Amino acid sequence: MKIVNLTPHKITMKRTVRQFSGMESVLQIPSSGIARCSGSSTVAATVEGVTFYTSTYGEIEGLPAPVAGTILIVSRMAMAACPTRLDLACPIRLVRDDQGRITGCEGIEVQPGAAEYLAAIEAAAAASRSADTSAEHSAAAASTKTAWAGLAQASRSDADLEAAAATAAAKQAAEERQAADLAATSAAVAAYQAETDRQLALATELAREYDAATRSATAQSSYATCGFTKGFQRILTKNGIDVWRIQPKDTSADDVHGGGYSKVE
């Protein structure tokens, strides 16, 4: 329910916060405009010296059209001028301070026959409260669902981060192993190359020494007769390495020491 104050002053009244507990609060409704109404009184009759008047009212200014669920607080004159407007009300049971000044009211007075209108407002308010409660429950459920979804997403994010970190660590470990294997292979290749170079140098040196020794022996020896075969049919001659058996009448000779055959020019 919405209450609109169309009087010149702020209206202060008591309000029961909880129907069954009896808790009360102060409801203050500031002025939202002024509904003005002009009126006049005429003498209707005089009976036994008593004058009776009738009042007539002009058109009300500043009065909006009715709105469902809204109560308009106006002056008593404005309410009397519109007896068919069930949405109009005026303050009743005024409350005064010690000096007689009006400080508020205990409630508001409505038009006769406004009970059904107020019952419709109360029914609408109850339905609205129920809808609000359902909406609050739905909003709370949605909020809880969102919170759980966020928590689940955060958990999944943490798990994804942990999985990514584990994958990165495994990749780094694999790269380190590959680097270590490559270093070991390079070291092995270098060692093999060094050993090969050493053996090649040694073989080259031995070959050089052997060649030098061979050349020296060949240079220092000359063919010389060292004897004859049985019956003096062949001459035995030698150099620094082999012993040769030569046929005097022929140019052929065979190597007695090595068992080979060669031809002497």
Residue 183 falls inside a structural domain: no
Residue 262: the pLDDT is 46
pTM of the model: 0.46
Residue 123 falls inside a structural domain: yes
3-state secondary structure of 118: helix
Tell me the residue ranges of DSSP E strands in 48-101: 50-57, 70-73, 88-96
Same domain, 13 and 133: yes
The more confident residue out of 257 and 116 is 116
Of the listed ranges 90-99, 162-171, 185-194, the least confidently predicted one is 162-171
Of the listed ranges 84-88, 128-132, 228-232, the least confidently predicted one is 228-232
Per-residue pLDDT of 108-129, as tens digits, reads 899 888 888 888 888 887 887 7
The owner of tokens 């507990």 is 21
Per-residue pLDDT of 201-248, as tens digits, reads 777 777 677 667 666 655 554 555 555 555 556 666 666 566 666 666
Q: Which amino acid is at 165?
A: A
Picking from 90, 107, 137, the residue at the C-terminal end of a domain is: 137
CA distance 168 to 162: 10
pLDDT grade for 264, boundaries at 50, 70 and 90: very low
The owner of tokens 């270098």 is 190
Residues whose CB is less than 8 angstroms from the CB of residue 188 and which lie 6 or more positions away in sequence, other chains included: none
Q: How many C-beta atoms lie closer than 10 Å to residue 149's C-beta?
A: 10
pLDDT grade for 147, boundaries at 50, 70 and 90: very low
The more confident residue out of 137 and 263 is 137
The owner of tokens 């012993």 is 243
Picking from 113, 137, 161, the residue at the C-terminal end of a domain is: 137
In whole numbers, what is the pLDDT of the chain averaged over residues? 76
Task: Give the total number of structural domains in the chain.
Answer: 2
| Full domain range(s) for residue 129 | 2-137
3-state secondary structure of 146: helix
With residues binned 3-state (H G I as helix, E B as strand, rest as coil), the percentages for the chain, rounded to 5, are 45, 30, 25
Residue 210 falls inside a structural domain: no
Contact by Cβ (8 Å): 126, 153: no
Residue 169 falls inside a structural domain: no
